[in-house]
Each structure stands twice: as C-alpha cells, then as structure tokens.
Amino acid sequence: MNPPPSIYPSQVDLWLAAVLIAAPLLVLGLGIYLMDTSGAGGILAIYIGVSMAVVMALLTIPCRYSLTEHALIIRCGLLNEEIQYQEIKGASLSSNPLSAPALSLSRVKVEMKNGFRLIAPQNREAFITELENKIKNQG
C-alpha cells in the first residue's frame, strides 16, 4: 500500500488575491451601472465580468503541489502536471515573477533535466527538504 501524498497548498499573496477578485467585480459593477444608462452595454459588461470570474476560478482553484511516492504533481485549477522524480535535478528558493502555477511570488524553482517549474508552496523549506529526500530515494 502506497503512503498518502504530502500536499502543499499554494501560498497566496494578498495583492494577487485582491487583483483576481477585484477585476471581475469591477467589470460586473460597471455592467450594473451601465444597465441604468445604456441597457445592452450593461448586459455585455455583466456577462464579461461573470465570465472573467469563472475563468479565473477554473484556472486557480485549487492550487496545490503533491509529493507522491514517484512524482511531483502540480495542480492549479484545470491544469495538472506530473513530474517524475528522476526528471528533477533539485529545488531552490526563488522570487522569479515569470508566469507559473503559483499564487505568490515567494516561490520554489524546481530544476529539471529540460527546464524548470516555478511553484509557491506555503512551507517552502519543508517542501524543498521533502522533495530532495524523494529525489535521493529514487536514485
């Protein structure tokens, strides 16, 4: 029987959460305002605001990283990636602002044979330690 995976939820920066929540609310509020003045423009803005909220939720909820027996699984909304430990060379602390399946700039850079991934587990040091132990045990 395989041990249960260790799950590390993504750290969430307050400013990023505010942007992700405020953007669709602003468009929605604009739509409600426009309903009183122009009608059709208001309906379109409401539709766009709701659509933005749904798309953002589908791409960000849940955002977590699982260390299973054989692989790192990165899950951010509908996006799901499995990286075998033998493909991983190491991990280090990072604050690289490149686009990534992460809700924070307090990140971990996972070095792989072909590139890297940026993730943002809540407890970065514990995540790196456990990941490095998993990599050593695979080799």
The residues spanned by each domain of the chain are 6-12+64-138, 14-59
- List 90's β-bridge partners, or say none: 111
Cβ-proximal residues to 9 (8 Å cutoff; 6+ apart), any chain: 62, 63, 64, 121, 122
What letter would DSSP give residue 5? P
Q: Which fold has domain 6-12+64-138?
A: PH-domain like (2.30.29)
> What pTM, to 2 d.p., does this model score?
0.90
50-68 pLDDT per residue, tens? 999 999 999 999 999 999 9
The CA R_g of the chain, rounded to the nearest whole Å, is 19
Q: What pLDDT is recorded for position 40?
A: 84
Task: Give residue 13's pLDDT band: very low, low, confident or very high (50, 70, 90).
Answer: very high
